[in-house]
Amino acid sequence: MTESMIVRVRYFASVREALGAGDSLSLARDATVGAVRDALIALSPGHAQALGRGRAVRMALNQALCDESATVPDGSELAFFPPVTGG
Amino acid sequence: MGHERVSVQSGDFDVSTELAALRRDDGGVGAVVSFVGTVRDLGHGDTVTAMELEHYPGMTEKSIDAMIDEAFRRFELRAARVIHRVGVLQPLDQIVLVAVTSAHRGQAFQACEFLMDYLKTQAPFWKKEHSAGGAHWVDARVADDQALARWGLGTQGNANS
């Protein structure tokens, strides 16, 4: 049996408005960011809409920008948000 | 160098006070360059009544701190300061201050512009414009990504194409 891990997911800006502040997921160890995104998309039609691959969604793993190929360590914080618009 | 480098705050800032603190007791400074971003009163042809700024606490400070480290590697800087406001702002309000000191102006101008280009495309802030017609999230601009590309840096594909 594969070991599992907990990933804490946070949302910001328009993604937060659509999905709330965040989710907590239990996943197989060594999942990639892309695999976490797939698992989130499967949670609800709202998730599929907000996090679908056609959307401009950026990701940060433990508070550093990342892409979908990054491996997610156990206990990580993973964030999804639209392109940034500060300054 | 006793001054704080990064502040993310709801309150306003005083540029003169910040610049004085940045070059205090440093006789090696020959140039101080600063940029102040402010809230425009027009967006999408509609009068803006308020601008709301959301951020990612923790990541915001870390990412700005990392970009200042990068500016120190690239340019001959003596000090740098970034202040970014969050929360609800009004038209004409100050949003952001980037200030740097250097021995000479060339490095200071470049470093200030580098820091702003980086901040626009990499730091986790999001603007929401409020107007009589409702509220909407501001779209990222392709021009901002292109500005960062000048420095030979990738953008994580920030802008909506």
Give B 65-104 residues with CB within 8 A of chain A. Answer: 84, 95-96
- Check whether B161 has a pLDDT greater than 60: no
Residue A84 · residue B140 · CB < 8 Å: yes
Q: What does the pLDDT look like over A2-58, one tens digit per residue? A: 689 999 999 999 999 999 999 999 999 989 999 999 999 999 999 999 999 999 999
In 3-state terms, what secondary structure has residue A60? strand
**CB-nearest partner of A84 from B95, B116, B125:** B125
- On whether residue A87 sits in a domain, the answer given is no
Q: How many CB atoms lie within 10 A of CB B7?
A: 16
Record: contact A86-B120, CB cut-off 8 A: yes
What is the model's pLDDT at position B1? 47
* CATH number of the domain to which A13 belongs: 3.10.20.30
Does A21 contact B at CB distance below 8 Å?
Answer: no
Measured between beta carbons, the chain A residues lying within 8 angstroms of B115 are none
Q: Which residue of A has its CA nearest to B126?
A: A85
Does A12 contact B at CB distance below 8 Å?
Answer: yes
pTM: 0.92
Q: What does the pLDDT look like over B26-58, one tens digit per residue? A: 999 999 999 999 999 887 678 999 999 999 999
Domain with A77, as residue range(s), is 4-81
The complex's ipTM? Answer: 0.93
What is the model's pLDDT at position B153? 78
What is the model's pLDDT at position B145? 80
**CB-nearest partner of B62 from A63, A82, A85:** A63
State how far the Cα of B7 lies from the Cα of B61, in Å rounded to an integer.
Answer: 7
| B29 against B151, higher pLDDT | B29
- On whether residue A9 sits in a domain, the answer given is yes
Record: contact B84-A64, CB cut-off 8 A: no
What's the gap between Cα A4 and its chain centre? 17
- On whether residue A86 sits in a domain, the answer given is no
- On whether residue A23 sits in a domain, the answer given is yes
- On whether residue A13 sits in a domain, the answer given is yes
Measured between beta carbons, the chain A residues lying within 8 angstroms of B96 are 86-87
- On whether residue A25 sits in a domain, the answer given is yes
Residue B42 · residue B48 · CB < 8 Å: yes
How many structural domains does chain A have? 1
> Taking CB atoms and an 8 Å cut-off, how many pairs form between chains A and B?
84
The DSSP annotation for A4-41 comes to: EEEEEEEE-HHHHHHH-SEEEEEEETT-BHHHHHHHHH
- On whether residue A11 sits in a domain, the answer given is yes
Model confidence band, residue A76 (pLDDT cutoffs 50, 70, 90): very high
- Ordered by where they begin, the domains of chain B are 6-149 (3.90.1170.40)
